Amino acid sequence: MRERGAPARLDFRLAEKKRVIYDGRIVGPVRRQGSRLYWVTDKKKLYCFDVQNENPIWTYEGKAAFDSPPVIGRESVFLLDQEGYVHAVDGLGQLLWKIGLENVTPLSLSLALNLLLVGTEGEGILAVDPVSGRQLWRVRAEGSFQAGAVSWGNSIICSSQEGQISILSPQGRVLKTLAMENPISNTPLVDEGRLYVGTADGYFHCLDLKRGNRKWRVDVRGKILAPPRADEKRVFLSAANCVLYCLNKRNGHLLWWRALPSRSYHEPEFTDGQILISSSSSTILCLDRKTGEEVGTFEGSSEVRSNLIWLEGFLLLHLYDPQREKGSLVFLEGKEKAHSSLARGSEE
């Protein structure tokens, strides 16, 4: 039986249907909203693409390169550039507002409880009104806030490179702090009142947010490189030792593990009962989420440069040609009743 709300199961004999070329190398993950995809490149550009129509909608170009992936709001897209400016772009690709942050070095941008949160170097967390761009409040704290903020109920969770987790009210009041004692650089996962987070010492932790204590921790022998993902019973994470782990959400017991071709900096993708993962290689893996058994593999023509997107019946990935300084959004289409790997394709 298909999981409720899950996308269709992917039959893994894949064929390339379409390829869209764009300028530059993709920076960070692809974001999606409905049938739209958003990504930024090192050529100072934000792309908006409609998968349903298989065509780009618009491109927004900044004066400086963008330092982080786009943040998608209800009606706007938010960007952080290398000169410390935050941009708000509307659904037509037009600039709504642009603000400079004085006397701070911004490191991360995220959206929680309809607040735009800016993590800084040594100056804490700034909250910005996403509609007007007006700064609302600042929580001063030492350290680097590279990880994105996340929401939990009516509160905001921020974590620092110094290993401190701060739980804030929507007005910026510190409600609780939790000390992890080791750096946190990736956005944690909130799921059913629990916080799942990796630290630089190679441990993966599960915290009870209501009680403020740790439920369990697991030594995965490597720094967590991408935000974890979870389904109803399991949590999945990739570590710097090139291993994908599947743990029991409740007790942290190892259910299965899988060696990856290379390190994976990309959040895995789900289809019905399956997990898809890309790494710093040309190989894509499709595994059964329950058992970890291989469903199929795909060999791209070059290194996959992004997280995978399963949408509108296509598996979408990004490749990069360094000689031409061009990226490619590739549409892969599954074939029926097949679970075999596909031979290497050809780069345009």
Q: How far, in Å, CA of 157 to CA of 149, rounded? A: 6
**pLDDT tens profile 239-267:** 999 999 999 999 999 999 999 999 999 99
Residue-range definition of the domain harbouring residue 300:
8-25+260-340
Residue 265 lies in a domain: yes
Q: Cα 249 to chain center, whole Å?
A: 20
In a domain, 149, yes or no: no
Q: Is residue 301 part of a domain?
A: yes
Task: Tell me, yes or no, whether 250 lies in a domain.
Answer: no
Report the domain count for the chain: 1
Task: Provide Rg for the chain, Cα atoms.
Answer: 20
Over residues 328-348, mean pLDDT: 54
Considering the domain boundaries, does residue 220 fall inside one? Answer: no
Where residue 335 falls among pLDDT bands split at 50, 70, 90?
Answer: low
pLDDT of residue 224 exceeding 70, the answer is yes
**Tokens describing residue 27:** 């920076």
The model's pLDDT over 152-179, given as tens digits with 9 standing for 90+, comes to 999 999 999 888 999 999 999 999 999 8
CB-based contacts of 16: which residues, under 8 Å, 6+ apart? 330, 331, 332, 333, 345
pLDDT tens track for 271-330 = 889 999 999 999 999 999 999 999 989 988 888 999 999 987 899 999 999 999 999 999
pTM tops 0.75: yes
Cα(291)–Cα(255) distance, integer angstroms: 8
Mean pLDDT of 124-131: 96
Q: Is residue 63 part of a domain?
A: no
Domain assignment present for 1:
no
User: From CA 333, how far away is CA 310, in angstroms rounded?
Assistant: 10
Look up residue 329 and give its amino acid. L
Query: CATH number for the domain including 313?
Result: 2.40.10.480
**Cα separation of 300 and 308, whole Å?**
13
Burial of 333 (0-12, 13-18, 19+ CB in 10 A): middle
pLDDT value of position 9: 59
Q: Say if 188 falls within a structural domain.
A: no
